[in-house]
């Protein structure tokens, strides 16, 4: 299973979602933001090296805490040398080795986002209940739809009021997708600051339960896709 975590606007908690999903799904998290990587940097080869053909994908995966990650480089020269056309094959090879992959897509709707969404079996969109982020969530949903990548859920972060919950519910109805709401809480911010999944930092936090439910939803959606493919 390959899951793309995307969202048009930056700063909405996309990388936090990808990191925690990696923990819940026991998946390799791929930092696919080639120019402004946000997940922990690695200590060895990275996605830039893999996309340039210098390293095999499996040799660039390392573990940070409880989460296996294929990190991305931080240099402009590395981003320029990356051959994006190789991305799909690389991610599929990682999937064959580890079984599950979570791709942390860059913000915006540039070409690389389309490549990453097209590679995925399922997409998770991330937004907040604020208008600029919501507008970009609709755009990203349309892009995923154009690429025939099913959106399994939209994560609405930073829920602070009943109005925020109403906005999230309306978003789900209008897009026809399940909504995962994550309340604002200091424990989640503290955990992410140290790149510790909330499951390991504060297991009783509501965010831990929400990410667990989202992972279960993704597993069920993947099973339905597999059953449908077998019936064809």
The enclosing domain of 160 has a CATH number of: 3.40.50.300
Domain ranges, residue 14:
2-231
Question: Is 70 exceeded by the pLDDT of residue 232?
Answer: no
Task: Name the average pLDDT for the chain.
Answer: 93
- pLDDT tens per residue, range 10-38: 889 999 999 999 999 999 999 999 888 88
User: Distance (Å, rounded) from C-alpha 71 to C-alpha 30?
Assistant: 6
Question: Is 80 exceeded by the pLDDT of residue 66?
Answer: yes
Share of the chain above pLDDT 70, in %: 99
**Mean pLDDT of all residues in 99-125:** 91
pLDDT value of position 225: 87
- pLDDT tens per residue, range 46-57: 999 999 999 999
Q: Which helix (H) or strand (E) holds 104?
A: strand 101-104
Beta strand 67-70 with 62-64: parallel, antiparallel or unpaired? antiparallel
Concatenated DSSP letters of 33-69: -SSS--SPP-SS--HHHHHTTSS-HHHH-EEETTEEE
Count of other CB atoms within 10 angstroms of residue 176: 8
- pLDDT tens per residue, range 134-185: 999 999 999 999 999 999 999 999 999 999 999 999 999 999 999 999 999 9
Tell the residue number behind the tokens 């965010």, with chain if given: 207
Is the pTM higher than 0.75? The answer reads yes
Domains contained in the chain, number: 1
């Amino acid at each position: 299973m390959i899951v793309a975590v995307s969202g048009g606007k930056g700063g909405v908690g996309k990388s936090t979602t990808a990191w925690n999903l990696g923990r819940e799904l026991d998946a390799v998290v791929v930092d696919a933001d080639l120019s402004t990587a946000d997940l922990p940097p690695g200590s060895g080869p990275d996605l830039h090296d893999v996309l340039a053909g210098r390293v095999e994908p499996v040799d660039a995966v390392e573990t940070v805490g409880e989460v296996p990650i294929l990190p991305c480089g931080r240099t402009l020269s590395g981003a320029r040398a990356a051959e994006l056309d190789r991305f799909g094959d690389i991610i599929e090879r990682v999937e064959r080795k580890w079984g599950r992959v979570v791709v942390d897509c860059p913000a915006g709707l540039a070409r690389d986002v389309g490549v990453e969404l097209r590679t995925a079996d399922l997409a998770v969109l991330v937004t907040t209940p604020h208008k600029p982020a919501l507008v970009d969530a609709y755009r990203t949903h349309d892009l995923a739809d154009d690429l025939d990548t099913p959106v399994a859920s939209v994560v609405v972060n930073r829920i602070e009021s009943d109005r925020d919950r109403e906005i999230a519910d309306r978003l789900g109805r209008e897009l026809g997708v399940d909504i995962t709401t994550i309340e604002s809480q200091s424990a989640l911010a503290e955990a992410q600051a140290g790149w510790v999944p909330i499951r390991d930092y504060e297991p009783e936090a509501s965010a831990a339960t929400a990410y667990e439910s989202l992972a279960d939803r993704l597993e069920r959606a993947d099973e339905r896709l597999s059953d449908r493919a077998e019936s064809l």
